[in-house]
Amino acid sequence: MPESELKQKSKNQKYKMEIVFIIVLFMSPFLLLSTYLMTARRKSFWKIFIVHTIAFAIYMTFVINYSKLLTGHDEYGLGQIVLGILFVITDIIIGFVHGLYITLKNKNIKTRNDVR
């Protein structure tokens, strides 16, 4: 493959990753809301809420105090901001998957009890 084709392919892949990041960034508030709606009626809602709040506080403490370990020299603080956003988005996605798991698990148990 000629070098120009490799550069173009690399540029297209970078563009696709930017699109994915932007989509996930805009979807994260809806994922968070749907997670809370899925788990709001559960007894474990407040446990889940407190765990995610503590995780958020730990993420932000890490980003504020130790982000230079991951980003190196960061004159304008952009790496710190992006790292904070990525940690929050990751927490929201993990919370959504966990909420979805809890909801589906409870529906399966309810369905099995209805069949008997």
Tokens, residue 48: 């889940």
Residues 6+ apart with CB under 8 A from 55: 91
Specify burial of residue 49 (Cβ count, 10 A radius: 0-12, 13-18, 19+): middle
Q: Is the pTM of this model over 0.85?
A: no
d(CA 1, CA 45): 54
> What are the residues whose beta carbons fall under 8 Å from the beta carbon of 48, sequence distance 6 or more?
39, 42, 95, 98, 99
Strands (E), the chain: none
pLDDT in tens, 66-98: 777 777 777 777 778 888 888 888 888 888 998
In this predicted model, what pLDDT tens digit does every residue of 21-52 receive, in sequence order?
788 888 888 988 888 888 888 888 888 889 88
